[in-house]
Amino acid sequence: MRDLATPWALDLGASPLAPSAVRFRVWAPRATTVGVRLVGRDRPLVPLTPSDGGYFEGVVADAPPGSRYRYVLDGRVERPDPASRFQPEGVHGPSEVIDPIGFRWSDESWHGLPLDRMIIYELHVGTFTPAGTYEAIIPRLGYLGGELGVTAIELMPVAQFPGARNWGYDGVYPFAPQASYGGPPGLKRLIDACHAGGLAVIVDVVYNHLGPEGNYLADYGPYFTDRYRTSWGQAINYDGPDSDEVRHYIVSNALYWITEYHVDGLRLDAIHGIYDVGARHILAEIADAVHAEADRLGRIVHVVAESDLNDVRVIAPRAEGGYALDGQWNDDFHHALHTVLTGEHTGYYRDFGRFDQLATAIRDGFVYSGQRSPYRRRRHGSPSRNRPPSRFVVYAQNHDHVGNRARGERLSALVPHTALKVAAATVLLGPNIPLLFMGEEYAETTPFLYFVDHGNPVLVEAVRKGRTAEFASFGWQGEIPDPQSPRTFERSRLARDGPLAPAQAAMLAWHRKLIALRTSIQALGAASATTHTVWAWESERVLVIHRRGADGSEALLILGFAPTPATVKIHEPAGTWHRRLDANEAPFGGPGPAARSPSTLDITPEGAEVALPGYPALVFLSGRS
């Protein structure tokens, strides 16, 4: 346990010392000797001194920031630094010395955002702008935070991956921001600009595996284990022999992002691929370390997991045997919403499609909380009903559920705009933490495809075959775009390069209005307790949601998921309700006043009959609010 009064500093890799010397430290128990070779310098190999635990370390004079280097293992094998802060020539090239305190931050007054105030916008750096760089995002921050109103951006993984095109989940240098995106300076400028504009930054990190190309960690030590296997390759060694040092490497990475890059949250990718049977799970160790360092820094930093386990231990407090993460993604919500809107029931959607499941996801969190899953052919999940809704991140779209379709179709290609508006209201006005996928707010029509830029032809072919096999259970027909083709990558760029089409402008106006309501009316924000009631009309495909805020405000949402008109009789909550928002209004692409719902809704014990159009999305506020 480290002394929290002492500022944390990375003790791995290249650490500059005054005036131009560098301290190198690397864990390499599989090597007998380790030396440092400065690239492009006519200097002899500098040997490092072995120390306890399989580490090698030493100081090299005259290696200022910008110097490039490799480690030499046993006098013959040259490898980049496992803790490299920058790989300017890619995954096979030398590492570069970076001064961790050389950047001049201007965010001293920024302390982060509570999770319940986050409206998250997930983006892929390479396809969000034509330039595909960190700094190219900066001019669009005013749009994101000001015009649209989101409060946090979530970057898909930025750790150095092979080539220039990748989703980021093939990263092999966890400490090195992708060079083709702009490297360390570009990422720091982006985060500093986000904080200046009041936006939090979440970085997606991958602690379940490393990518296959440029992955040299096994030459250094037992970073991986054959005791487990992930869907993406070798599992990381969190609980076997020598795992203490592997855990230190991963926990150091988490602390690195929040200290050297000032990020406000980590999204842990696919924790169901993290295997640890030790007494203290690595997820708990990461969460504890991050929260302790955030407290020392006087900041709010969140750790949020992606998990398909439906295991409440992820977010349960330590006193209840949980890992005490701040939140987790809820795929059950997405699957329930997606199947109701699209009618798809193949692949992992097989478990979903009943209308009551959507009501369950909104009311309770997990749909599968211990019952049998037909897709998994076993019981699945644990009850989440008593967990705060604000611990769950929900979405109608994200990179996975768009990009892992055979042709990367967005929801805008699958359902009409009227249905998109209902989906947006369900996500943005619910009690959970909402997430939008880039372009969703204006119904972007370009696909988001899976793309890679591997240098190994055998690996490229393996990726192609793997994608084809992955889609078999969905029954999707037609040609699958080649992941290796630059064209696949270019097709995935956002197409917004001028004025929006009228329908897209209306969709953007709808999202802006929903976000404005969420942030101004407490009853429509994230809930720290279960303060909402959900009623479902199965045959009419209508949900009524009553939400209550701690300040006494109340809201009634009427959401319809069928294209045909319907009439429902609402018996509660009693009172007079005033219409605040209607998706049929003209600014949102609707027909206008003639098709609007009543301006007031009087609910008595006898009930109030409400005639609804196809795909209604209505917000009423209580006369007491």
pLDDT in tens, 373-404: 999 999 999 999 999 999 999 999 999 999 99
Local confidence band at 625 (pLDDT 50, 70, 90 cut-offs): low
* CA dist., res. 380 & res. 624, Å (int): 42
Task: Express each pLDDT in 357-366 by its tens digit.
Answer: 999 999 999 9
Burial class (CB within 10 angstroms; exposed 0-12, middle 13-18, buried 19+) of 533: middle
Residue 438 token pair: 């880039």
CB-based contact 603:572 (threshold 8 Å)? yes
Task: Express each pLDDT in 76-128 by its tens digit.
Answer: 999 999 999 999 999 999 999 999 999 999 999 999 999 999 999 999 999 99
Residue 304 token pair: 């949020």
CA dihedral 584, 585, 590, 594 (to 10 degrees): 80
Residue 547 token pair: 């939400």
Question: Given this model, what pLDDT does residue 5 score?
Answer: 62
For 609, residues 6+ apart whose C-beta sits below 8 A from its C-beta are 567, 568, 569, 570
pLDDT above 90 for 468? no
Identity of the amino acid at 205:
V
Backbone angles phi, psi at 239, to 5 degrees: -140, 10
* CA dist., res. 322 & res. 433, Å (int): 20
CB-based contact 25:57 (threshold 8 Å)? yes
Whole-model pTM: value is 0.97
Task: Express each pLDDT in 402-448 by its tens digit.
Answer: 999 999 999 999 999 999 999 999 999 999 999 999 999 999 999 99
Please report the domains of the chain, with CATH numbers, ordered by start residue. Answer: 13-96 (2.60.40.10), 118-205+257-507 (3.20.20.80), 526-622 (2.60.40.1180)
**Quick check: helix, strand or coil at residue 443?**
coil
CB-based contact 248:272 (threshold 8 Å)? no
pLDDT above 70 for 595? no
Catalytic residues: 269, 306
